[in-house]
Chain A
Amino acid sequence: MEPKKIGCYICTGCGIGDALDLKALKAIASKEQKIPVVKDHALLCGAEGVAMIQKDLDEGAVNAVIIAACSHREKSAEFRFDIDLMDRVDLRDKCLWVQDVKDGDETAEEDRQMMAEDYLRLGSIKIKKMNVPDPFLHSEGSKDVLVVGGGLAGLTAARDIAKAGYQAVLVEKSDVLGGKMNAMFKVTPDNKPPYRDLADNFIGSLISEVEADNRIKIFKNATVTKTSGQPGQFDLIIKNATSTKEVRVGSIVVTTGFDLYDPTKLPSSLGYGASPDVVTSAEFEKMAKEGKIVRKSDGQPAKRVAFALCAGQRDKEHLDYCSGACCIYSMKQALYVIDQYGADASTYLVYQEIRTPGQMEDFYRKVQEEGGVFIKGDVTAVAGNPKGGVVVKVNDHLIRAHESLDVDLLVLATGMVSTVDTLDPNSPSPVGTGRDELPGSILNLQYRQGPSLPRLGTNDFPDSHFICFPYETRRTGIYVAGPARRPMGIAATMTDASGAALKAIQAVEAVALGVGVHPRSGDLSFPSYRAEGCTQCKRCTEECPFGAINEDDKGNPLFNPARCRRCSTCMGACPQKIISFANYSVDMISTMIKEIEIPEEDEEKPRILVFACTNDAVPALDMMGRLRSPISPYIRIIPLRCMGSLSLVWIADAMSKGFDGVLLMGCRHGDNYQCHNVRGSALAEIRLSKVSETLQRLKLESNRVKMVEVNIMDAETLPGVIGDFVEQISNLNPNPYKGF
């Protein structure tokens, strides 16, 4: 690459020029930081300002740009240049706008100027330390997508992948496509206005559509016995009874669906097994499909039917969660009874709460109109009735009474259980099981971190961040859709499958370009390490939230760049500081810390360093600026890719440089985590628990370092959080290392 020619462009609009000493700022850039081209403009984001930068780029005077203006989240469309190295220095949102300077207050003016100068230094160092990343490219990548499971979700995903012009490989373990849908008599009108009348089962037409499509390769009676590699080059072994096939695909959609909860495990109060007239919803569906809604005991017509909703769901002893679809399918089954027996039918739905996702409230109304009786309460006991049928004891919460209900059939609406093998999400990736085969594993990943997908929280579903990144698992390029991801009904399953199909296509395309898939989509950088320095401690392999790192026989890390999400957790984990990205490294942040000017102790101007997560804390700080909420002028903010990249060296550097305190702003962690990289802030907290050793070694108080959880919505409370920490630090003596 040709030598770096840096240009620094300072905007004087938005009051920056009035508030700050431009001459001094330019001197910092050109004299102190030795930047060859330093220019200013009164409206840098305007056409004229942008043209000024573009001209320097075109003439070859500059090939790396520092824009000292507003936050990097502002004016990103205007400042879009076709160059590899650019950085934004925020003189406005997090500097000017958070300083309340009264006219004539020279001290405050001076403090504000010092802040702006420090930020300009940080930007200069950063761009000097950045290198242009080379994308990770490989020549034998595949853009095909594997779909595991040929039920409703799998068929929908395969169809959509093919429709988008890609090849799909569909693996189904049984000899027929269609899955659980084949057993359905009718389906609810989730997608069909006015959302009231039952529709015919459409799975047959979907199956023929998929079977007729030559872009979809179907393996029946087959399973995936091994998955190795990384996005773009997943190597599969697909086995059936007679043959073994090796297939390469680019990404994977898991649509293995659900199993129904085993009714024999249900509490005896629900009466399964007590009488043949207590059936599960699946058994009832079969009866309806055969056109015979009758008592199982004696074959008499079943005109009075009760449905126990939440048969095991939302019960800590059984399924902890709502199964999402049971209210609706029980209502559907009540309509079967009403359709068959008309005015003679009596249907009772005993529920905890009726949940009607999507448009299903109208369907609920329809069932009420048709005479379905809804009882909020619990089934407390079930006994066979000598006259046939069963007697159901109900605790009716609505009329606050225990009643008994004579019915011909009691239908238990059992919940959905995941079919995907999963790993505990709260521990670091369990290294050491990776090379073993797990019989029955859906994918049998040949990952150092184990053959299964990490699950979400306490539930056994392999979801990751379902609000920000639906369909994504914690294994890049592997998506889950439909009830394999979380319990859901027909309409949601189809939307889910289409979404996951699109995500899978996005992944193969991103990998082909050598850029990050998500959440840092488009990021060209990926980690590399200096092999001589590695002590084979395996911390990077263990801490990578996405299982992107394998190990060679000697225990050295083997990075799989296409699996990497560029969170840089490995960089923060490495005790040898040998893992880095082309444009982000431990050394870069360390040098930035050392570049900040620390006033002498007798000036009584403390300095507090803030490490802020770019995903949540930085936007919150920007919004705080927009609210013009003043904070202490002694704060210096350094954004981090993710708290997971926090290296303890930086704390030591800040302390030995003379900073009086360090405040870390990371995302919420734990079960309801908000970290885009799942475990970044959690790992930072674990690392920080060891920081007191560092501080003791330096003979410093341990409360000089604090970590807070910051949400993107916290703009209004942030000044208080910062104020409290500044107060806490001001009660301590100044850092004795100032000036060393």
Chain B
Amino acid sequence: MAYDLSFAKDVYNKSEMGHWIKMCMQCGVCAGSCPLRAHWQHSPRQLFQMVRAGKRDEVLKSSDMWMCTSCYNCIVRCPRELPITHIIHGLARYAETEKAVDPMQPTRRFAVEVFWKNITATGRVGEAMLTMRLYFQDGIGAGIQRGLEMRDSALGMLKTRRLNPIPFRGKIKGYDGFTKMLAKAAELEAKLENKA
């Protein structure tokens, strides 16, 4: 049923910053401010209205919330002061916990399979391994091809010392504390989810 509010209420309660969605006045400033607007299927304001209209599947299966690059333009400009970037990330996370996301969604795959493993293994991002893992995600052939495509950029970054070719070995100082923090965060999150 259209405009059934049960999905919206669930988002308001469970999705991080989701309760802000009801405050959107649909002015469209976020859509006009987003540098990646051309690549979105729905702009933030449209996504919010879809939540209110009860379009659960369309929202959760949408790739929109995975397109955000956290530039914060929309947050700065929103006249109603909605934390749009955080709401969008919250929706992505909500879709993931609802197991509604296509596992092959590129941003999701990068985040879950590459980035998270990379950073938690050592305590910091290792650019060399991160890039390698991303490029070779779909096999050796595809990896080599991507590497060649990006050769000029890579060489340029090397030259200007934006890329360290030597993989980071070992662990950061205070790695134990870092893992404890992650564990605590996971515990808090689980508690929140159970509560909701």
Which of A371-379, A629-637, A656-664, A666-674 is the contact stretch? A371-379
- Residue of A368, A376, A405 near B2 (CB, 8 A) is A405
Task: Point out the residues of chain A lying under 8 angstroms from B55, CB to CB.
Answer: 399
Question: B74-93 vs A: 1/0 string, CB under 8 Å?
Answer: 00000010000000000000
B25 and A396 contacting across the interface, CB-CB below 8 Å: no
Task: Point out the residues of chain B lying under 8 angstroms from A404, CB to CB.
Answer: 2
Interface residue? A406 (CB, 8 A): yes
Task: Kindly provide the distance from the CB of B22 to the nearest chain A CB, expressed in whole angstroms.
Answer: 5
Interface residue? A365 (CB, 8 A): yes
- Residue of B5, B23, B46, B53 near A403 (CB, 8 A) is B53
Q: How far is the CA of A375 from the CA of B49 in the complex (A)?
A: 8
- Residue of B3, B25, B50, B80 near A405 (CB, 8 A) is B3
| Size bracket, chain B contacts | 10 to 19
Task: Point out the residues of chain A lying under 8 angstroms from B8, CB to CB.
Answer: 373
A346 and B5 contacting across the interface, CB-CB below 8 Å: yes
* 7 intermolecular pairs with C-beta atoms under 8 Å apart: A375-B3, A375-B53, A396-B49, A398-B26, A399-B50, A399-B53, A404-B2
Q: Known contacts A398-B45, A399-B46, A405-B3: does B25 contact A374 (CB below 8 Å)?
A: yes
Question: A355-399 vs B: 1/0 string, CB under 8 Å?
Answer: 000000000110011010111100000000000000000101011
A398 and B25 contacting across the interface, CB-CB below 8 Å: no
B52 and A354 contacting across the interface, CB-CB below 8 Å: no
- Residue of B1, B23, B53 near A406 (CB, 8 A) is B1
B46 and A348 contacting across the interface, CB-CB below 8 Å: no
The 7 closest A-B pairs by CB, nearest first: A403-B2, A398-B49, A399-B49, A373-B52, A368-B23, A405-B3, A368-B22
- Residue of A354, A365, A371, A403 near B3 (CB, 8 A) is A403
Chain B, 33-55, CB within 8 A of any chain A CB: 45-46, 49-50, 52-53, 55
Q: Known contacts A398-B46, A398-B49: does B26 contact A374 (CB below 8 Å)?
A: yes
Q: How far is the CA of A374 from the CA of B50 in the complex (A)?
A: 12
Chain A, 401-446, CB within 8 A of any chain B CB: 401, 403-406
Q: Which residue of B lies closest to A402 (CB)?
A: B2
Q: Known contacts A396-B49, A399-B55: does B3 contact A373 (CB below 8 Å)?
A: yes
Q: Which residue of A lies closest to B53 (CB)?
A: A399
Q: Which residue of B lies closest to A306 (CB)?
A: B3
Q: Which residue of B lies closest to A356 (CB)?
A: B25
Q: How far is the CA of A404 from the CA of B54 in the complex (A)?
A: 12
Task: Kindly provide the distance from the CB of A362 to the nearest chain B CB, expressed in whole angstroms.
Answer: 12
B23 and A354 contacting across the interface, CB-CB below 8 Å: no
Task: Kindly provide the distance from the CB of B126 to the nearest chain A CB, expressed in whole angstroms.
Answer: 43
A contact residues, total (Cβ < 8 Å): 21
Q: How far is the CA of A406 from the CA of B4 in the complex (A)?
A: 9
Q: Which residue of A lies closest to B8 (CB)?
A: A373
Q: How far is the CA of A417 from the CA of B80 in the complex (A)?
A: 34
Task: Kindly provide the distance from the CB of B87 to the nearest chain A CB, expressed in whole angstroms.
Answer: 15
Apart from the given pairs A371-B5, A373-B22, A374-B25, 13 other A-B contacts in the complex at a CB distance below 8 Å? A354-B25, A364-B25, A368-B22, A371-B22, A375-B53, A376-B26, A394-B2, A398-B45, A398-B46, A399-B46, A399-B50, A403-B2, A405-B3
Q: How far is the CA of A365 from the CA of B22 in the complex (A)?
A: 9
Q: How far is the CA of A354 from the CA of B22 in the complex (A)?
A: 15
B23 and A365 contacting across the interface, CB-CB below 8 Å: yes
Task: Kindly provide the distance from the CB of A124 to the nearest chain B CB, expressed in whole angstroms.
Answer: 60
Chain B, 76-131, CB within 8 A of any chain A CB: 80
Task: Kindly provide the distance from the CB of A402 to the nearest chain B CB, expressed in whole angstroms.
Answer: 9
Q: How far is the CA of A394 from the CA of B46 in the complex (A)?
A: 16
Task: Kindly provide the distance from the CB of B47 to the nearest chain A CB, expressed in whole angstroms.
Answer: 9
Task: Point out the residues of chain B lying under 8 angstroms from A369, CB to CB.
Answer: 22-23
Task: Point out the residues of chain A lying under 8 angstroms from B23, CB to CB.
Answer: 365, 368-369
A373 and B5 contacting across the interface, CB-CB below 8 Å: yes
Task: Kindly provide the distance from the CB of B155 to the nearest chain A CB, expressed in whole angstroms.
Answer: 46
Q: Which residue of B lies closest to A405 (CB)?
A: B3
Q: Which residue of A lies closest to B55 (CB)?
A: A399
Q: Which residue of A lies closest to B2 (CB)?
A: A403
Q: How far is the CA of A376 from the CA of B45 in the complex (A)?
A: 12
Q: Which residue of A lies closest to B12 (CB)?
A: A371
Chain B, 124-147, CB within 8 A of any chain A CB: none
Q: How far is the CA of A369 from the CA of B25 in the complex (A)?
A: 12
Question: B57-81 vs A: 1/0 string, CB under 8 Å?
Answer: 0000000000000000000000010
A348 and B50 contacting across the interface, CB-CB below 8 Å: no
Task: Kindly provide the distance from the CB of A404 to the nearest chain B CB, expressed in whole angstroms.
Answer: 6
Task: Kindly provide the distance from the CB of B127 to the nearest chain A CB, expressed in whole angstroms.
Answer: 41
Task: Point out the residues of chain A lying under 8 angstroms from B52, CB to CB.
Answer: 373
Task: Kindly provide the distance from the CB of A263 to the nearest chain B CB, expressed in whole angstroms.
Answer: 24
Task: Kindly provide the distance from the CB of B31 to the nearest chain A CB, expressed in whole angstroms.
Answer: 11
Q: How far is the CA of A369 from the CA of B22 in the complex (A)?
A: 7
Task: Point out the residues of chain B lying under 8 angstroms from A401, CB to CB.
Answer: 53
Task: Point out the residues of chain A lying under 8 angstroms from B3, CB to CB.
Answer: 346, 348, 373, 375, 403, 405
Task: Kindly provide the distance from the CB of A443 to the nearest chain B CB, expressed in whole angstroms.
Answer: 43
Among B3, B45, B55, find the residue whose CB has the most chain A CB atoms closer than 10 A. Answer: B3
Q: Which residue of B lies closest to A354 (CB)?
A: B25
Task: Kindly provide the distance from the CB of B32 to the nearest chain A CB, expressed in whole angstroms.
Answer: 15
Q: Which residue of B lies closest to A371 (CB)?
A: B22
Q: Which residue of A lies closest to B58 (CB)?
A: A399
Task: Kindly provide the distance from the CB of A469 to the nearest chain B CB, expressed in whole angstroms.
Answer: 34
Task: Kindly provide the distance from the CB of A392 to the nearest chain B CB, expressed in whole angstroms.
Answer: 10
Q: How far is the CA of A406 from the CA of B54 in the complex (A)?
A: 13
Task: Point out the residues of chain A lying under 8 angstroms from B26, CB to CB.
Answer: 374, 376, 398
Q: Which residue of A lies closest to B19 (CB)?
A: A369
Q: How far is the CA of A394 from the CA of B22 in the complex (A)?
A: 19
Task: Kindly provide the distance from the CB of B114 to the nearest chain A CB, expressed in whole angstroms.
Answer: 34
Q: Which residue of A lies closest to B46 (CB)?
A: A399
Q: How far is the CA of A376 from the CA of B3 in the complex (A)?
A: 13
Task: Kindly provide the distance from the CB of A349 to the nearest chain B CB, expressed in whole angstroms.
Answer: 11
B53 and A396 contacting across the interface, CB-CB below 8 Å: yes
Task: Kindly provide the distance from the CB of B53 to the nearest chain A CB, expressed in whole angstroms.
Answer: 6
Task: Kindly provide the distance from the CB of B128 to the nearest chain A CB, expressed in whole angstroms.
Answer: 44
Task: Point out the residues of chain A lying under 8 angstroms from B1, CB to CB.
Answer: 406
Q: How far is the CA of A406 from the CA of B3 in the complex (A)?
A: 9
Q: How far is the CA of A373 from the CA of B5 in the complex (A)?
A: 9
Q: How far is the CA of A403 from the CA of B49 in the complex (A)?
A: 13
Task: Kindly provide the distance from the CB of A717 to the nearest chain B CB, expressed in whole angstroms.
Answer: 33
Task: Kindly provide the distance from the CB of A130 to the nearest chain B CB, expressed in whole angstroms.
Answer: 57
Q: Which residue of A lies closest to B24 (CB)?
A: A368
Q: How far is the CA of A374 from the CA of B80 in the complex (A)?
A: 15
Q: How far is the CA of A394 from the CA of B1 in the complex (A)?
A: 13
Task: Kindly provide the distance from the CB of B45 to the nearest chain A CB, expressed in whole angstroms.
Answer: 7
Task: Kindly provide the distance from the CB of A733 to the nearest chain B CB, expressed in whole angstroms.
Answer: 59
Q: Which residue of A lies closest to B1 (CB)?
A: A406
Chain A, 106-140, CB within 8 A of any chain B CB: none
Q: How far is the CA of A405 from the CA of B4 in the complex (A)?
A: 9
Q: How far is the CA of A116 from the CA of B22 in the complex (A)?
A: 68
Question: B175-193 vs A: 1/0 string, CB under 8 Å?
Answer: 0000000000000000000
Q: How far is the CA of A296 from the CA of B53 in the complex (A)?
A: 26
Question: B2-16 vs A: 1/0 string, CB under 8 Å?
Answer: 110100100000000
Chain A, 483-500, CB within 8 A of any chain B CB: none
Task: Kindly provide the distance from the CB of A26 to the nearest chain B CB, expressed in whole angstroms.
Answer: 64
Task: Point out the residues of chain B lying under 8 angstroms from A403, CB to CB.
Answer: 2-3, 53
Q: Which residue of B lies closest to A343 (CB)?
A: B9
Task: Point out the residues of chain B lying under 8 angstroms from A364, CB to CB.
Answer: 25
Task: Kindly provide the distance from the CB of A383 to the nearest chain B CB, expressed in whole angstroms.
Answer: 15
Task: Point out the residues of chain B lying under 8 angstroms from A375, CB to CB.
Answer: 3, 49, 53
Task: Kindly provide the distance from the CB of A409 to the nearest chain B CB, expressed in whole angstroms.
Answer: 15
Q: How far is the CA of A376 from the CA of B52 in the complex (A)?
A: 12
Q: How far is the CA of A373 from the CA of B8 in the complex (A)?
A: 10
Q: How far is the CA of A403 from the CA of B4 in the complex (A)?
A: 11
Task: Kindly provide the distance from the CB of B138 to the nearest chain A CB, expressed in whole angstroms.
Answer: 35
Q: Which residue of B lies closest to A404 (CB)?
A: B2
Task: Point out the residues of chain B lying under 8 angstroms from A396, CB to CB.
Answer: 49, 53
Q: Which residue of A lies closest to B80 (CB)?
A: A365
Question: A12-33 vs B: 1/0 string, CB under 8 Å?
Answer: 0000000000000000000000
Q: How far is the CA of A376 from the CA of B5 in the complex (A)?
A: 17
Q: Which residue of B lies closest to A376 (CB)?
A: B26
